[in-house]
Structure 1
Amino acid sequence: MLQIVILMVGKTRTGFIQAGMDLYTKRLVPYGKLSLLSVPEEKPRPGLTPEQIKEREGMRLLARLPKPARIIALEASGQEFNSQEFAQWLSQMEYEAHSPLIFVIGGHLGLSNALVAAANHRLALSRFTFTHELSRLILLEQLYRACTIRAGHPYHY
């Protein structure tokens, strides 16, 4: 059975994004176990550099990772797939991992170097840049699409 955890920084504050996330979370129920986990975002303050913010958020994310896990860091320089390829890759990961697949989405500054280094895979949702909140919704929709492709469901077509 497919086990997926989406680990992210901060809360989803935008209503339409949260509504979309709720929709795809419900749609994914028949395809496996899905958990959404978050860690607090680091608030910017004087004397705190963007790199320090990413490091602090990264430490929180690393501390929250379930063990054992296959860690997939979402970042712009990661591997890109089309939907069919992503469905095949997801099947391969499910077969090989025997542990939850943990998709990690950073805050507005991205992921820390330590977290990226700890990841088993790096995944890019697109060559476009998305907000970290919108990335959550896009990932959930693509996971649902991949599951329907794997199941031969007509949603993809």
Structure 2
Amino acid sequence: MQITIAAMGRLKAGPERLLVERYLERAGQTGRALGLTVAVREFPESRATRAEERMAQEAATLMGVLPEGARLIALDERGDTVSSEAFAQRLGTLRDGGLRDVVFAIGGADGHGEALRRRADQSLAFGAMTWPHQIVRLMLAEQIYRATTILSGHPYHRA
């Protein structure tokens, strides 16, 4: 199953990018044997002057790259919070159910447009706080790696 992080905004060179790359490389190595691959797609943030217009344009961009039949999970502060074990189990269940593509969408500074929130199969939050998109991307990359280690029985995850 292909796991794609579709994110508005580009990570600049620096410690966040290095950590994201490190976790995704590890996830790729561990996930390969599990039938999981990981990719990142970055898109420039909208330059519209109104927040509603920016969110709508960014939602259209993110939804425009969804493979047919993909499950869309929106990273949103209003989403569900789940444990790392539950996150891993959900990925495993999707993979075992024959799903080919899962896309995690990270919005721009204003969040997700209404169209994307309606289209999303699930919304996921890393707590009730608002996080910068660079840190959300880092946390998601780490949780994807952690999920691969949980699914493979690797000792990285310690409950």
User: TM-score higher than 0.5 here?
Assistant: yes
Q: Which ranges of 4 or more aligned residues in structure 1 deviate by more than 4 Å? A: none
Could you say what secondary structure the match of 1:156 adopts? coil
- Partners of 1:68 and 1:110 lie apart in 2 by 24
Q: Report the AA paired with residue 58 of structure 2.
A: E
- Cα distance, 1:14 vs. partner? 5.8
Could you say what secondary structure the match of 1:75 adopts? strand
- The corresponding residue for 1:6 is 5
- Partners of 2:119 and 2:97 lie apart in 1 by 18
- The corresponding residue for 1:54 is 55
Could you say what secondary structure the match of 2:24 adopts? helix
Deviations 1:106-146 (A, max 9, x none): 01111110011111111112222210111001000011111
Unaligned runs of 5+ in 1: none
- Partners of 2:12 and 2:28 lie apart in 1 by 23
- Cα distance, 1:97 vs. partner? 5.1
- Partners of 2:106 and 2:116 lie apart in 1 by 10
- The corresponding residue for 1:43 is 47
- The corresponding residue for 1:93 is 94
Scaled by the length of structure 1, what TM-score is found? 0.91
Scaled by the length of structure 2, what TM-score is found? 0.90
Q: Which moved more, 1:144-153 or 1:61-70?
A: 61-70
Given that 1:41 and 1:107 are in contact with CA atoms closer than 8 Å, whether structure 2 keeps it comes out as: yes
Could you say what secondary structure the match of 2:19 adopts? helix
Matches within 5 A, 1:102-113: 102-113=103-114
- Partners of 1:128 and 1:97 lie apart in 2 by 34
- Cα distance, 1:58 vs. partner? 1.1
- The corresponding residue for 2:132 is 131
Could you say what secondary structure the match of 1:7 adopts? strand
Q: 1:14–1:75: structure 2 CA closer, same or farther, 3 Å change rule?
A: farther
Instruction: Provide the aligned length of Structure 1 versus Structure 2.
Output: 153
Q: Which moved more, 1:15-24 or 1:34-43?
A: 34-43
- Cα distance, 1:68 vs. partner? 2.4
- The corresponding residue for 1:156 is 157
- Partners of 2:5 and 2:153 lie apart in 1 by 24
- Partners of 2:129 and 2:83 lie apart in 1 by 14
Q: Which moved more, 1:108-117 or 1:126-135?
A: 126-135
Unaligned runs of 5+ in 2: none
Given that 1:70 and 1:97 are in contact with CA atoms closer than 8 Å, whether structure 2 keeps it comes out as: no
Matches within 5 A, 1:27-38: 27-30=26-29, 31=31, 32-38=36-42
- The corresponding residue for 2:18 is 19
